Amino acid sequence: MTSAAPTTDQTPGRLYGVGVGPGDPELLTLKAARLIGSADVVAFHAGRGKESNARRIAADLIPANATEERLEYPVTTGVTDHPGGYAGAIADFYERSAQRLAGHLSAGRNVVLLSEGDPLFYGSFMYMHDRLSPRFEVEIVPGVPAFAAATAAAATPLVRQTDVLTVLPGTLPEPELARRLADTDGAIIMKLGRNFPAVRRALEAAGRLDGAVYVERASTDAEEHHLVRDVDPDSVPYFSLIVVPGDSHHIDPTGRRPAQLVVPAEPTSAPDTASPAAPSGVVHVVGLGPGPAEWITPEVTRILSEVDHVVGYAPYVNRVPQREGLHRHASGNTVEVDRAAFALDLALAGERVAVVSGGDAGIFGMASAVFEAAEDPRFAGIDIRVAPGVSAVQAVAARVGAPIGADFAVLSLSDRLKPWDVIERRLDAIASADLVLAIYNPASRSRTHQVADAREILLRHRCPSTPVIVGRDVGRAEESLTVTTLADLNCGSVDMKCLLIVGASGTRATRSGKAWSPRFVPREQ
């Protein structure tokens, strides 16, 4: 059926996205039942050759005179001969389905599109809404989601008080799923099926397997639930889920979450910290490199596999693979010394701990902050060990060629920890010494003028045609690299994700977009 454009004398129908709940018809809302019972058209999605669960739930409510539209998926396993692959086949299917429904709506017929669970929770209704809501009136009726029925079936309290609940698809990569499970209190894992073995391994790696409950076909006559560790992986359907109860009930009977960065109690017999030769603990400070996992050194990988605690800025902690027994302590930006003191406290209590930085921890990273915090006398016996990482300046330089093949300086434009006039003097000295300059932290939301001010200082000593490299998110999917000149540098496009390399007088840019600095400097005539 093709779409018909609305005519001037015909009032278009309304599209209703109606959630029919997880399976038990008695869990339908009164509003859902009323709308289904008065619908001109009842539409529903279904797998090829399979009964529609949504239609089965609402079957007794569909009027005998209603037109039924079965929207049958062309593919469900991801294998197709469509030139656009699975995504292309599904996109075409949604487009055709929308046209079929638009034909009814244009003719003035109200369409109820049934959605298992809730229409806006992993439901196909959303794709019809995207395509039809700009042209027709749409009303959405919420439904009981599957996870609510599952927790009720298993009588498993999910989250309490200020617990954080995370809903995760089992299709996530296993390391990512494990990390997210470790970083939340309660969780729901959906879309299991053949993903179940990887999901189970992720639960084990995150230390969340104990207490996790598997629920299948919640609220139906075929409902069953088991501990995840007891489930046969070959028997798991796609539409099943796992309930991971929140942590707070086990930590505090009041259900309140513990304060962040809580250090374990110190051993009853504290080691002698009087002599540096007998350290009372070890803190590893490691650099994770700028982005890709292959840029993490084997030494850092080994350290991270041996420690029990990882401490750092949240985006860096998130890059550490989760495994069983690993505790993650993520915090925000600008609290480096507090973070370092927390790590030292962990070591003092006998814990094995690593502090993580992006790039190299010793270059504008956490290494200095840890040593700063360690000046507190109570940390005198802690052994601080720094493991190097690939730095951002190395990564950007390698991408563009060899711009730091000669003498170079490294400077941060952030004036959070040093006055701007100090930065200006250093910029002037570097430029007058004709050194290649790598600039970290060039701009942020609150620092918008520094790049332009730095360029003006550099232009006092450098030719306007001096090569400038702007590397953004180097080593990541969003990577971009620009080779420009000091005169043409677009200061407004530079942000915190960028690192700049400003060439010296001898730095050369090639026609192929590379840049390099000669190793030699001519003698003055």
CATH number for the domain spanning 198: value is: 3.30.950.10
- Residue 462 has what DSSP assignment? S
What tokens does 11 get?
A: 């009032």
* pLDDT, one tens digit for every residue, the chain (525 residues): 444 444 456 899 999 999 999 999 999 999 999 999 999 999 999 998 889 999 999 999 999 999 999 999 998 766 788 888 888 889 999 999 999 999 999 999 999 999 999 999 998 999 999 999 999 999 999 999 999 999 999 998 899 888 899 999 999 999 889 989 988 889 999 999 999 999 999 999 888 998 899 999 999 999 999 999 999 998 899 889 999 998 654 444 433 344 344 444 444 444 444 444 445 799 999 999 998 889 999 999 999 999 999 999 988 998 999 988 899 998 877 789 999 999 999 999 999 999 999 999 999 999 999 999 999 999 999 999 999 999 999 999 999 999 999 999 999 999 888 999 999 999 999 999 999 999 999 988 777 789 999 999 999 999 999 999 999 999 988 899 999 999 999 999 998 889 999 999 999 999 999 999 999 887 763
Strands 111-115 and 15-19: parallel
Any domain includes 266? no
Residues 6+ apart with CB under 8 A from 101: 15, 41, 43, 69, 111, 113, 128, 132
Any domain includes 22? yes
CB-based contact 325:308 (threshold 8 Å): yes
- What separation, in Å, do the N-terminal and C-terminal C-alpha atoms of the chain show? 85
**Residue at a domain's end among 387, 404, 427:** 387
Instruction: Let me know whether 486 and 403 are in one domain.
Output: yes
Instruction: Let me know whether 81 and 44 are in one domain.
Output: yes
> Which residue has 């069953």 as its token pair?
224
Phi, psi of 410 (to 5 degrees): -125, 130
Any domain includes 329? yes
Give CA–CA dist 94/125, Å, rounded. Answer: 10
In terms of C-beta density within 10 A (0-12 exposed, 13-18 middle, 19 or more buried), how is residue 130 classed? Answer: exposed
Instruction: Let me know whether 372 and 411 are in one domain.
Output: no
Helix (H, G, I), strand (E, B) or coil at 65: coil
Across 295-357, where does the E strand assignment appear? 309-313, 327-331, 353-357
What tokens does 327 get?
A: 């505790």
Any domain includes 127? yes
Instruction: Let me know whether 70 and 28 are in one domain.
Output: yes
CB-based contact 56:29 (threshold 8 Å): no
Instruction: Let me know whether 101 and 190 are in one domain.
Output: no
**Residue at a domain's end among 206, 229, 251:** 251
HSE, side-chain direction, 13 A CA sphere, residue 48? 7
Helix (H, G, I), strand (E, B) or coil at 79: coil
Residues 6+ apart with CB under 8 A from 1: 99, 100, 103, 104
CATH number for the domain spanning 127: value is: 3.40.1010.10
Q: How many domains does the chain have?
A: 4
Any domain includes 274? no
Instruction: Let me know whether 25 and 135 are in one domain.
Output: yes
Instruction: Let me know whether 462 and 492 are in one domain.
Output: yes
Please state the separation of Cα 131 from the chain's center in Å: 28
**Residue at a domain's end among 143, 178, 212:** 143
User: Where in the sequence is the domain holding 172, given as residue range(s)?
Assistant: 147-251
CB-based contact 119:32 (threshold 8 Å): no
Q: What is the DSSP string of 126-156?
A: HHHHHHHTTTS-EEEE----HHHHHHHHHT-
Please state the separation of Cα 264 from the chain's center in Å: 29
Instruction: Let me know whether 19 and 131 are in one domain.
Output: yes
Give CA–CA dist 12/6, Å, rounded. Answer: 7
Instruction: Let me know whether 492 and 436 are in one domain.
Output: yes
Helix (H) or strand (E) holding 427: helix 420-432
